[in-house]
Amino acid sequence: MLILHCPYCGVDAEETELHAGGQAHLTRETVGSDDEAFEDYLFMRENPKGVHFERWRHASGCGKWFHAARCTTTLEVFGTYSAQTTAPPREICDAISGKRPGWSWKTFSARMFS
């Protein structure tokens, strides 16, 4: 079973305590955005086979939203971090680069937000 560490209350929560909230770091579009931007925000998803950034809610715990970096093929968890950010913190990126040589947030996000 997937176990994620909640960065707010410090609990190692099991999957049944959590609610998955989909892709993280989406740019929230609003008044003035064009159709293409809204399509990206509402429907287009990264869906990578490998490193993925997601939103999770500690639903049966502290109730807070946080972010997780995971691998979708091995289910390996690289780390969790606060949702009050627009990009993953340095130590998470380093942890991923350490286990997936050649991976960088810069190239990942350039493709993700292109």
Partner 1 sequence: MKRYSAFAIAREAARYHTGWERAWRAPEPQKKYDVIIIGAGGHGLATAYHLGKNHGIKNVAIIEKGWLGGGNTGRNTTIIRSNYLQDPSAAIYEKSRSLYETMSQDLNYNVMFSPRGVMMLAQTQHEIRGYQRTAHANALQGVQTEFIGPQKVKELCPIISIDGPRYPVLGALWQARGGTARHDAVAWGYARACSDMGMDILQRTEVTAIRRDGGKVVGVTTTKGDIDCDKLGIVVAGHSGHLADMAGFRLPIESVPLQALVSEPIKPCMDVVIMANTVHGYMSQSDKGEMVIGGGTDGHNNYTQRGSFHHVEETVRALIETFPMLSRLKMLRQWGGIVDVTGDRSPILSKTPVDGIFINCGWGTGGFKAIPGSGWAMADLMANGRSPLTDAFGLERFREGRFIDESVAAGVAH
Which residues are at the interface with partner 1 (CB under 8 A)? Answer: 1-2, 15-16, 19-20, 22-23, 35-36, 38-40, 42-49, 52, 54, 56, 70, 72-73, 75
Closest CB to partner 1 among residues 94, 100: 100
Closest CB to partner 1 among residues 31, 90: 31
**Separation of alpha carbons 91 and 43, rounded Å:** 30
Helix, coil or strand: residue 32: coil
Q: How far is the CB of 94 from partner 1 (least distance, A)?
A: 23
Residue type, 44: M
**Separation of alpha carbons 19 and 11, rounded Å:** 15
Q: How far is the CB of 28 from partner 1 (least distance, A)?
A: 17
Closest CB to partner 1 among residues 43, 106: 43
